[in-house]
Amino acid sequence: MKRRFSTLREFMANESSSGIVLAAAALLGMVVANTTLRSTYFETLDKKFVLDVGAFYLSLTTQKFINYLLMTLFFFVVGLEIKNELVSGHLAKFSAAITPFIAALGGMAIPALIYLAISGNEAPAGWAVPVATDIALAVGLVTLMGSRVSLALKSFLLALAVIDDIGAILIIAFIYSTGVIFSWLAAAVIAIATAVLLAKFNVGRGFIYLLVGAVLWYSLYRAGIHPTLAGVIMGLIVPFSLDSKIHTASSFLVVPLFAFANAGVVISHESVQAALNSKVAWGIFFGLFIGKPLGIVFSTLAAARLRVGQMPEGAKIASLTATGSAAGIGFTVAIFLARLAFDDVAMQELAIIAVIAASLASGIVSALLYRTTSRLTN
């Protein structure tokens, strides 16, 4: 039997390592985009290929191949994580799930409202960009903090991040899917029904699910619905646990490649000045940097005060704020949403600069708060 992630510590150790690789890949992408390799980098990402054979039609650039096809594996792992958490993890019991659920809702709503307050008149479509938490980088940060962060807070952040992922998935499905072609949507529904039946009859051959997943991906692609959702759907259906090999391929290959291909924005005096003068950039920055911790802390305290939920064991407002700041590291999913929210490439790059800046600021503040609170309690 294949080895599976069976403990929180093992899972978080893997996320911590992958977070370092992710950060390195993003930095490399930024470096390449600002050197003499810039032209090669962008020309390679923009290179287009088309497959047109009979009824089969596929048109993707290199970047869309990464963002649409390869990232499906990332979302498949997200689907598996969500299923595992709902079946036997931190979200399996209502009493354990209610507080991170309420915190996640606050951590999504407040950033969106802050963005709309700052940037709503200019680009309302970008409201979803600051709602996302990067599970690898956020969990990686708290893991690197070691004993400064209690196991209860680590569990709280993990559960919150998983719920946050669910929110991002729903946003992608219902907000950024337009012009749906219902004949292809019907084909997608048939593929989903087939996968459900295979799981019901305990069909365990991964290759069969791969074929059904490929049909589902292509059907969603032709239907006008973001095809990465095929990964989430299959992850929720297939009768597999979160296998370490699948998780490793996603964490150490797919997501770093995504970061390398999408974080490569040109950093110049002009681009920085444009970001500083952009309401969209400030809306995203403050949404992540201020909105995330504010929404999470306020919602958690409200849940505890109303006795709907309870504070994570041993948590104080300062350590809870540190955890909220860790959730302000949006990176992967935030950049993914930025690519969907804005059609204009210049606007996408402004948004990505803001996401990177907010993620760095959130990570630094979170680490400082954790260090301060650990000294006060020792």
| Amino acid 229: pLDDT | 94
**Domain assignment of residue 98, yes or no:** yes
Binned at pLDDT 50, 70 and 90, residue 3 comes out as very low
Report the C-alpha dihedral over residues 273, 279, 285, 286, rounded to 10 degrees: 130
Tokens of 185: 């949507």
**Domain assignment of residue 2, yes or no:** no
Q: What is the 3-state secondary structure (H, E, C) of the chain?
A: CCCECCCHHHHHHHHHHHHHHHHHHHHHHHHHCCCCCHHHHHHHHHCEEEEEECCEEEEEEHHHHHHHHHHHHHHHHHHHHHHHHHHHCCCCCHHHHHHHHHHHHHHHHHHHHHHHHHHCCCCHHHHHHHHCCCHHHHHHHHHHCHHHCCHHHHHHHHHHHHHHHHHHHHHHHHCCCCCCCHHHHHHHHHHHHHHHHHHHCCCCCHHHHHHHHHHHHHHHHHHCCCCCHHHHHHHHHCCCCCEHHHHHHHHHHHHHHHHHHHCCCCCCHHHHHHHHCCHHHHHHHHHHHHHHHHHHHHHHHHHHHCCCCCCCCCCCHHHHHHHHHHHCCCHHHHHHHHHHHCCCHHHHHHHHHHHHHHHHHHHHHHHHHHHHHHHHHC
Binned at pLDDT 50, 70 and 90, residue 11 comes out as low
Please tell me which residue, 375 or 245, carries the higher pLDDT value: 245
Cα(94)–Cα(165) distance, integer angstroms: 18
Longest Cα separation, the chain? 69
**Domain assignment of residue 74, yes or no:** yes
| Amino acid 376: pLDDT | 57
Lowest mean pLDDT: which of 154-158, 207-211, 317-321?
154-158
Cα(297)–Cα(294) distance, integer angstroms: 5
pLDDT one-digit tens code per residue, 78-92:
888 888 888 877 778
State yes or no: pLDDT of 236 exceeds 80. Answer: yes
**Domain assignment of residue 277, yes or no:** yes
CB 178 within 8 A of CB 209: no
Cα(59)–Cα(354) distance, integer angstroms: 30
| Amino acid 12: pLDDT | 59
| Whole-number percent of the chain with pLDDT over 70 | 93
- Closest among 10, 8, 15, 82 to 331, alpha carbons compared: 15
Instruction: Count up the domains in the chain and report the number.
Output: 1
CB 223 within 8 A of CB 180: yes
Model pTM score: 0.86
Provide the mean pLDDT of the chain. 89
| Amino acid 18: pLDDT | 78
Binned at pLDDT 50, 70 and 90, residue 2 comes out as very low
Q: Is 342 left (phi over 0), alpha (psi -120 to 50) or beta?
A: beta
| Amino acid 154: pLDDT | 86
Lowest mean pLDDT: which of 58-62, 83-87, 355-359?
83-87
Tokens of 366: 């979170």
> Taking CA 176 as the corner, what is the angle to CA 292 and CA 262, rounded to the nearest 5 degrees?
70
| Amino acid 278: pLDDT | 96
| Whole-number percent of the chain with pLDDT over 90 | 62
**Domain assignment of residue 252, yes or no:** yes
Instruction: Give the CATH number for residue 68.
Output: 1.20.1530.10
State yes or no: pLDDT of 34 exceeds 90. Answer: yes
**Domain assignment of residue 199, yes or no:** no
Lowest mean pLDDT: which of 6-20, 122-136, 241-255?
6-20
**Domain assignment of residue 308, yes or no:** yes
- Closest among 371, 331, 377 to 354, alpha carbons compared: 331
pLDDT one-digit tens code per residue, 252-302:
899 999 999 999 999 989 999 999 999 999 999 999 999 999 999 999 999
pLDDT one-digit tens code per residue, 303-345:
999 999 888 888 889 999 999 999 999 998 999 999 999 999 9
Range of the domain at 331: 8-45+61-177+226-377
**Domain assignment of residue 126, yes or no:** yes
Region 205-212: mean pLDDT is 90
| Amino acid 15: pLDDT | 63
